[in-house]
Amino acid sequence: GAGVSQSPRYKVTKRGQDVALRCDPISGHVSLYWYRQALGQGPEFLTYFNYEAQQDKSGLPNDRFSAERPEGSISTLTIQRTEQRDSAMYRCASSLAGYGYTFGSGTRLTVV
Amino acid sequence: DAKTTQPPSMDCAEGRAANLPCNHSTISGNEYVYWYRQIHSQGPQYIIHGLKNNETNEMASLIITEDRKSSTLILPHATLRDTAVYYCIVRREDNYGQNFVFGPGTRLSVLP
C-alpha cells in the first residue's frame, strides 16, 4: 500500500479482555517496528521484525504482550488480559533496510 | 537510553529560522544523526539524517559539528505548521534495521 496502515484506529476494551492490533506495512518494507506512546511522551520501543523474524522484543513490557509477522508482511500485536495501564497509542512503522521509518496513524487503545 | 539531549521547549517567530540543538557526546563513529518530528497526534515524520557532513533537503538543514558531539536542525523559514515535537536520535546505519530510541524531544512552538 501507499502508507503504513493500522487497524483499528480506536479500540475500547474492558479490563481483562485480549486485544489484537494490526499493522500492514508499506509493500516491500523489510523491517517492521511496534512502538507505544503515552500522552505527552515520545514513542517507546516495543519490538521489531526483519521479514518474519522477530529481532528484538526487549521493549515488550511483560509476557502479556506478544507480536508476530508470520509471512513477513502484516504484523499483529496482541495484548492478553488487558489492564488500564496498557491504554496508549500503539504505533507501527516500517522501513527498507538502512533507511528511516514511515509511521502509521496508530491505534488508540483504551482499557476501561 | 536515548543518548541525546535536547531542550524541552523552544519558541520561534513565524518566518524566522528555527535552530534546534541536540547534544550527542557519546555518538559512535558508525552512528548517524536522525531528526523526526511529530505534529499533534500524528505519527513521527522523518525530516533528515546525516553522518558527518552537513545535509540539506526540502524540509530542513542539518549541521553537525566537526567532532560530531552535537548538531543543529535548521528550519529556515518556520511556519505555524512547523509547530511540533522534534526528536533527535542517533542510530547505527546497517542493512538489518535497528530500533530508534526516542527521547522526550523539543517542543517547538512557532508564534504568529
**What is the per-residue pLDDT for B73?**
98
Residue A87 has pLDDT above 90, yes or no: yes
Chain B residue with the nearest C-alpha to that of A90 = B43
- Taking only residues 6 to 35 of chain B, the set having a beta carbon closer than 8 angstroms to any beta carbon of chain A reads 34
pLDDT digits (tens, 9 = 90+) for A28-52: 898 999 999 998 889 999 999 999 9
CA distance A76 to chain B (A): 18
- Output the CA–CA distances (angstroms, integers) from residue A70 to A8, A46, A53, A73, B109, in the order listed: 20, 18, 8, 8, 42
Chain B contact probe: residue of A103, A105, A107 with most B CBs at under 10 A = A103
How far apart, in whole angstroms, are the C-alpha atoms of residue A23 and residue A4?
7
Interface contact A30, partner B, CB < 8 A: yes
Interface contact A48, partner B, CB < 8 A: yes
Of A64-68, A77-81, B61-65, B101-105, the one with minimum mean pLDDT is: B101-105
Mean pLDDT of residues grouped by 10 in chain B (112 residues)? 86 97 92 92 90 93 96 97 95 69 93 96
**What is the per-residue pLDDT for A61?**
95
How far apart, in whole angstroms, are the C-alpha atoms of residue B96 and residue A72?
14
CA B19 to chain centroid: 10
